[in-house]
């Protein structure tokens, strides 16, 4: 597989079964999110920004997806969103996350987002490296921010400020 064989396109509601499958694979790692059950399409759709949703397709198979979630409903935070990038278990390590992250950043700036952020478990080293590669920097560390299966978990807080949106 070359990165050229990865086709990116906008996510549609018809993609939900495959998006949910990949999300579930991420949940099963135990290092993707505090969420432990895949939400319904309606829950997921409501929780994510309508723009900036994309899927990566390789030879007709969905390999991964990316989307943004608003961090607040307050108008002052309209340009701030949280990043989600998920790669199917059979496609990890193939640089698909790179394509999705670059495209997500490009699309987010077209949609006037000036800050992208992520909260990542420190054990998810691949995700931290991906975020660092695309300009997200560690701005904090939340110790014992939540329990998962009865175990306290920490998160690394990462942020990227656009160099083209919100600079005035």
Residue 1 binned pLDDT confidence (cut-offs 50, 70, 90): low
Distance (Å, whole) CA 75 – CA 42: 23
The pLDDT, as a whole number, for residue 168 is 74
The answer, yes or no, to whether residue 26 has pLDDT greater than 90, is: yes
pTM over the 0.85 mark: yes
CB atoms inside a 10 Å sphere around CB 163: 10
Query: Which strands make up the sheet holding 151-161, listed edge to edge?
Result: 6-10, 54-58, 61-70, 80-87, 115-120, 151-161, 137-148
Q: How far is CA 80 from the centre of its chain?
A: 14
Averaged pLDDT for residues 43-47: 95
The answer, yes or no, to whether residue 4 has pLDDT greater than 80, is: no
pLDDT (tens digit, 9 = 90+) per residue, 88-126? 999 999 999 999 999 999 999 999 999 999 999 999 999
Q: Which residues pair with 63 in a beta bridge?
A: none
CA distances 88 to 28, 91, 135, Å, are: 11, 5, 23
Averaged pLDDT for residues 15-22: 98
The upper half-sphere exposure of residue 36, i.e. CA atoms within 13 Å in the direction of its Cβ, equals 5
In the chain, what are the domains? Answer: 3-161 (3.40.630.30)
Mean pLDDT across the chain = 94
Distance (Å, whole) CA 38 – CA 40: 7
Residue 3 binned pLDDT confidence (cut-offs 50, 70, 90): low
Contacts of residue 122, Cβ cutoff 8 Å, sequence gap at least 6: 128, 141, 154, 155, 156
Averaged pLDDT for residues 130-145: 97
The pLDDT, as a whole number, for residue 137 is 97
Share of the chain above pLDDT 90, in %: 93
End-to-end Cα separation, the chain, in angstroms: 42
Structure tokens at 111: 């949609």
């Amino acid at each position: 597989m070359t990165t050229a064989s990865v086709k990116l396109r906008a996510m549609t509601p018809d993609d939900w079964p495959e998006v949910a499958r990949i999300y579930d694979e991420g949940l099963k790692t135990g290092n993707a999110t505090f969420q432990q059950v895949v939400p319904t399409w309606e829950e997921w759709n409501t929780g994510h920004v309508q723009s900036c949703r994309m899927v990566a397709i390789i030879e007709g198979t969905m390999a991964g997806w990316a989307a943004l979630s608003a961090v607040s409903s307050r108008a002052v935070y309209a340009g701030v969103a949280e990043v989600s990038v998920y790669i199917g278990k059979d496609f990890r390590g193939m640089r698909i996350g790179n394509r999705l992250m670059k495209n997500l950043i490009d699309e987010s700036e077209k949609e006037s987002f000036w800050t992208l952020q992520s909260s990542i478990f420190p054990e998810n080293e691949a995700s931290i490296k991906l975020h660092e590669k695309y300009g997200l920097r560690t701005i904090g560390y939340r110790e014992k921010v939540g329990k998962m299966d009865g175990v306290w978990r920490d998160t690394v807080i990462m942020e990227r400020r656009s160099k083209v949106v919100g600079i005035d």
